[in-house]
Amino acid sequence: MVAGAQSDIVQVRGLVNRFGSHVVHDDLDLDIRKGEILGVVGGSGSGKSVLLRSIVGLQPPAAGRILLFGEDLLSLSPERRTHIERRFGVMFQNGALFSSLTVIENVAVPLIEQLRLSRSQAEELARSKIGLAGLPPDAGGKYPSELSGGMVKRAALARALALDPDILFLDEPTAGLDPIGAGAFDRLLVTLRDALGLTVFLVTHDLDTLYATCDRVAVLSQKRVLAVDALERVQDIDDPWIREYFHGPRGRAANRAAESRSAK
């Protein structure tokens, strides 16, 4: 994490999310610190993606307050809300690219819509974002259906980076990738955070990604944040789900791999 960067870029207080009679979050609190990569984990149905959608304003909560950069998105004027929205980028679980547009056109969309750039200006900037995401130049002219799973993830990342955001929200960015592709994405994420000073909110179930990238880990359980701390402290908490997740066979393997990387 960036040295000395302890200010909270996002504050969630008393969050309640429900769908009909089903309560997903109840009095949930969470802070996201400037410059950190925060991993968010939890069992199926714990509301990881719902929490992400609530923070970025796509899922209005039933109760509670969410501040981004000190402001409540839902109470802002449309003009002010648009200004705040330019400061974050979102990468959805399956990429959510427009299938009828090429990669370069996908990345150019927010530049045209939000910054009112001409198509030629937007596509010129889009090329730089495509390169930043680790894609080869010829990927820009391809459609999503012509890309591998790993390239789709990187194209979606390029679009999330289009407006030079302060914070990235990533929903299962390595899901469906082979170990080599997932490892490459993890390294890219850390490089981008360090080079650009990004803050990252990372929903994942990938233990290798947690060990390779995250400064802190938040565990969602029982409709709240059960714990949020450095991974080495979270994994030692005496809780049944935490024990099973971090100390099962896959957790032990991920931990050994992380220790091996640190020893090199």
pLDDT by residue (tens digit) across 32-69?
999 999 999 999 889 999 999 999 999 999 999 999 99
- What's the sign of the alpha-carbon dihedral 74, 79, 85, 87? negative
Spatial contact of 135 and 151, defined as CB atoms under 8 Å apart: yes
Query: Closest Cα partner for 215 from 201, 225, 205, 197?
Result: 201
89-107: pLDDT as tens digits: 999 887 789 999 999 999 9
Q: If we measure between CA atoms, which residue out of 2, 37, 30 comes closest to residue 14?
A: 30
8 Å CB contact between 153 and 182: no
DSSP 101: S
Identify the pLDDT of residue 211: 94
Using the predicted structure, report yes or no on whether residue 149 has a pLDDT greater than 90.
no
Q: Is the pLDDT of residue 5 over 50?
A: no
DSSP letter, residue 71: B
Q: What is the pTM of this model?
A: 0.91
User: Domain map of the chain by residue range?
Assistant: 97-164
Measured CA to CA in angstroms, residue 148 lies from 159, 198, 204, 206, 264 at distances of: 17, 26, 20, 20, 31
